[in-house]
Amino acid sequence: MARVFLKPDGRDLYYPESPPPGTILQPLTQDCAIPLGPPGNTVTVTIPQMAGGRIWFSAEKQLTFLRNPGGPGGGAALVEPSVLNPSDPNADVDFSFCEFTLNNDQLFANISYVDFVPRLPIALTLQIKDGAVQHVSGMAPDGLERVCVGLREQTARDGWPWDKLVVQPNGHDKPLRVLSPTHGNAVGASFDGYFEPLVEAAWKKYAASEEQPQSQSQPQQPETAKKHRLRLSLLRRKPNPNPASPPPPTLQPQSTTTTTTTLRINTQAAAGILTSHNPPSPTNPLLHIGPETFTRPSTFDILGCNSGPFTTGASPTRNAIIPRLAAAFQRGCIVATAEHPSEPETFYVGDGPVNHYARVVHECNLDGRGYAFAYDDVQVDGGRDQSGKVEAGEPAVLVVAVGGRGAGA
């Protein structure tokens, strides 16, 4: 379980050594960059079975990885390129990556936009041993520019700082990347309070106690080219109050009736379909789903998908509910329909709070598929995948095309 790199020959392995105790941010002792050659070239590398990893790409400059002591397996702890640390040596480098898992059961790979949208677009094509092919198109060469336009238009509509997620360092004539709203505070884009009206509406619909009258309405919002190909032969295997923030998006007035609706969560696991129920509760009721109870999530919890009521633990039932509940909030459809996962037609519609970063990312991918938040692979049984993943139990070759024109990869 130690960290490992492929060497430049695309086959041999380098296990970075742990530096002496007390020394940090040490360079690698070997150059592990794999040259891709000119546009249109194909480089073949062989990945042995491993727990998982990332395939990193950069243009014009090599990426810098650093070592700290005390890593897993007795090796180094790696300091990977960061899009949040302005002092990181890769802060101004044009880079991207895709992720994969290669365990005893399958290869699973996806294009990830969970943290940011890069300038370098990536497409995936998985060739399976039975001859079947899976493909994810990624973005066009101007995909990042289209994302920037979409976010700026959304800011013009609702006043929230979607436009501040665009990162364009000094000296760059074009945007370098776009951060997800999960990391908005790193660039002065606070979304504190954004999803709270949707949470309130969801609690009134699914969790309001019969002993508690419901308020009549929510506050109204004032008007206001060629590419490189990498061929992989696969072997066996708290929010803080922010007075400067605009008012939360408008929601439709709520009824004064005390009747609640039953929420149905298909866990797509052993627990099956679970429903909500509403025992008498105090003024701040919990949401009861099957045997589990959930407190109200904050915007921070919804964007990150891993804190507050979305923290996973020892209960497999709760761990199956969390992705479906979190995805329903991200997509803004938790109130629009009581059945989850819901159909894609219910995603990112209406005037209420939704993750517009995720919406724009999907709109700018050539096939509409992209992993825009942590649980973007949640889908209805038999439905069309939204996440931009490829997976197979008997993989043969994974082709990763980088640099543009993803539809032809």
Could you report the per-residue pLDDT of 233-243, keeping only the tens digit for each? 444 333 444 44
Measured CA to CA, the distance from residue 387 to residue 25 in angstroms comes to 34
pLDDT level of residue 39 (50, 70, 90 thresholds): confident
142 pLDDT higher than 60: yes
23 shares its domain with 144: yes
95 shares its domain with 28: yes
Residue 48 lies in a domain: yes
Return the residue matching tokens 């979409």: 150
Q: Tokens in use for 110?
A: 């996806």
Instruction: Specify the pLDDT at position 251.
Output: 64
Measured CA to CA, the distance from residue 181 to residue 352 in angstroms comes to 17
pLDDT level of residue 244 (50, 70, 90 thresholds): low
Q: Tokens in use for 295?
A: 């407190």
List the CATH number of the domain containing 311.
3.30.920.50
**Count of domains observed in the chain:** 2
12 shares its domain with 132: yes
95 shares its domain with 118: yes
Residue 242 lies in a domain: no
Query: Which residue would you say has higher pLDDT here, 45 or 246?
Result: 45
List the CATH number of the domain containing 83.
2.60.110.10
318 shares its domain with 383: no
CB contact at 8 A, 178 and 151: yes
Q: What average pLDDT does range 293-319 have in this prediction?
A: 97
212 pLDDT higher than 60: no
Q: What average pLDDT does range 258-262 have in this prediction?
A: 75
204 shares its domain with 146: no
330 shares its domain with 379: no
pLDDT level of residue 254 (50, 70, 90 thresholds): very low
Dump pLDDT digits (tens) for 185-198. 999 999 999 999 99
Residue 248 lies in a domain: no
- Give CA 3 to chain center in angstroms: 23
CB contact at 8 A, 210 and 278: yes
160 shares its domain with 280: no
Residue 225 lies in a domain: no
- Distance separating the N- and C-terminal Cα atoms of the chain: 33
162 shares its domain with 300: no
Supply the range of the domain harboring residue 290.
195-210+260-352
Residue 97 lies in a domain: yes
As a whole number, the mean pLDDT across the chain is 88
Instruction: Specify the pLDDT at position 114.
Output: 96
94 shares its domain with 23: yes
CB contact at 8 A, 311 and 301: no
Dump pLDDT digits (tens) for 335-374. 999 999 999 999 999 888 999 999 999 999 999 999 999 9
283 shares its domain with 178: no
Instruction: Specify the pLDDT at position 282.
Output: 57
Q: List all residues 6 or more positions away from 314 whose beta carbon is below 8 Å from its beta carbon.
A: none
Residue 269 lies in a domain: yes
For 367-409, list the strands marked E by DSSP.
Answer: 389-392, 395-402
395 shares its domain with 321: no
Residue 218 lies in a domain: no
Question: What percent of the chain has a predicted confidence (pLDDT) above 70?
Answer: 85
Instruction: Specify the pLDDT at position 1.
Output: 86
Residue 223 lies in a domain: no
Instruction: Specify the pLDDT at position 274.
Output: 98
C-alpha count within 13 angstroms, C-beta hemisphere, residue 306: 6
β-bridge pairing 389-392 and 107-111: antiparallel
